[in-house]
Amino acid sequence: MSRPFHVGRFRALFLTGTAHCGSTLLGRMLGMHSEVLCVGEIMRLEDALALGYGCSCGASFDACPFWGPRMELLAPYRNDYKSYDLALFDELAVGARQSLVFDTSKTRVWRSRRNWSTPDARRRAGFVFLLRDSRGVLAAAKREGNELAHAAPRHVKWIKRVARLAEKEDGRTLVMTYEDLCRDPAKELRRLMGFLELPWEDALLRPADVVHHLIHASVSGYLAGSNLLNRDERWRSELTRDERRIVEEQMRRLPLLAELYLDEGSSRYVYRDAPLSTRSGSPGPR
Ligand SMILES: [Zn+2]
């Protein structure tokens, strides 16, 4: 059966946000769609190779059945992430017989934003801004050995940058939160399908059913391999009172973060659904 050359609104979709925002989860879900090729953080391929990371399938990139045959195609791009362009995404999509390439390079999407503001890219590239509670992001950073006094302001600086881009490009940006995605994945993924003008597919809810070939994917083992979505709120027990204060002070600097995560009275507050026991700061679900 022949498939249409291209369906949906975009050829490329870029996830913006910061590390630990849930991008690998969304990548694995969206990558289940028959028209979507999720590549992971393609703009970090060179870093992944330098660090000795392989593909998320477990093979080295050269030995990976998906990336191995494509390493030559990527060779001219690898050394300079600002050289990535729609021509490469066209080639990847056509080669994989899919319509949309989903990249989760996050801050590098912002750094290469000029590439995505050409007249052609304005028509064929969109963005998903994925937010997550900064306390969750920074608890993960702490687990990696980062000092929160440095990491917290840096994180908020990046959210500000990405939020500005999302505002500027609001006609082709969808804003999502990790917390909403975990609470009601079907609802959030339907909203995403509407934005992308792609038909719903049930497979979107079963990200653990296949082996994914993602570049520089998250190494977090949190429920990887399971189709169960349990919102990771380990920050509630992992951050000390002082650390939480440091992070919340930074979050208050950005109305968007305060509305979503700190102000219980806000209509956008994401924990409206949470049982009182979780709201009061007891350990979240494991
Ligand atoms: Zn692979």
Please compute the mean of the pLDDT values over residues 1-23 and round it to a whole number: 88
Which pLDDT score, from 0 to 100, does residue 2 have?
57
What one-character DSSP code corresponds to residue 219?
-
Q: How far is the CA of 146 from the centre of ligand 1 (A)?
A: 29
CA of 226 to the centre of ligand 1 (A): 19
Q: 56 CA distance to ligand 1 centroid (A)?
A: 6
266 pLDDT tier (thresholds 50, 70, 90): very high
Evaluate if residue 81 carries a pLDDT over 90: yes
Distance 247 CA to ligand 1 centre (A): 36
Q: Are 227 and 233 in contact (CB under 8 A)?
A: no
CA of residue 29 to ligand 1 center, whole Å: 16
Cα(194) to ligand 1 centroid in Å equals 29
Residue with tokens 């998250």: 218
pLDDT band, residue 284 (cuts 50/70/90): very low
pLDDT given for residue 217 in this prediction: 86
Q: Give tens-digit pLDDT for 186-220.
A: 999 999 999 999 999 999 999 999 999 999 987 66
Q: How far is the CA of 55 from the centre of ligand 1 (A)?
A: 4
Round to whole Å and give the CA distance between 170 and 110. 14
Whether 273 shows a pLDDT value over 90: the answer reads no
Name the least confident of 126-130, 229-233, 274-278: 274-278
Angle between helix 23-30 and 185-196 (nearest 10): 70
Tens-digit pLDDT profile for residues 232-244: 999 999 999 999 9
Q: pLDDT for 106-160, tens place per residue?
A: 999 999 999 999 999 999 999 999 999 999 999 999 999 999 999 999 999 999 9
Average pLDDT of the chain, as a whole number? 92
Task: Using the mean position of ligand 1's atoms as its centre, give its distance from the Cα of residue 242 in Å.
Answer: 42
- Band of the pLDDT at 278, cuts 50, 70, 90? very low
CA of 27 to the centre of ligand 1 (A): 14
Confidence of residue 35 (pLDDT cuts 50, 70, 90): very high
Q: How far is the CA of 65 from the centre of ligand 1 (A)?
A: 6
Residue 160 burial (10 A CB sphere; 0-12, 13-18, 19+):
middle
Indicate if the pLDDT at residue 222 is higher than 90. no
State in Å: Cα 208 to ligand 1 middle: 15
**2 CA distance to ligand 1 middle (Å):** 26
pLDDT bin (cut points 50, 70, 90) of residue 280 is very low
pLDDT, residue 228, reads 79
DSSP code of residue 261: I
80: amino acid identity, one letter: D
> Distance between CA 213 and CA 56 in Å, rounded?
5
Report how far residue 117's alpha carbon sits from residue 169's, in angstroms, rounded to the nearest whole number.
9
Tens digit of pLDDT for each residue in 48-72?
999 999 999 999 999 999 999 999 9
Return the higher-pLDDT residue of 267 and 283.
Answer: 267
Q: pLDDT band for 4, please (50, 70, 90 cuts).
A: low
**Where are the domains positioned within the chain?**
12-279
Dihedral pair phi/psi, residue 37, rounded to 5°: -105, 110
Whole-structure pTM over 0.85, yes or no? yes
Reported as half-sphere exposure (CB side, CA atoms, 13 A), residue 233 has a value of 20
Q: Give the Å distance between the CA of 215 and the centre of ligand 1.
A: 8
**Residue 223, pLDDT score:** 59
- Dist. CA 193 → ligand 1 center (Å): 25
* pLDDT tens figures, 245-262: 999 999 999 999 999 999
Distance from residue 25's CA to the centre of ligand 1 (Å): 17
Paired tokens of 63:
């030995």
> Looking at domain 12-279, which CATH architecture does it have?
3-Layer(aba) Sandwich (3.40)
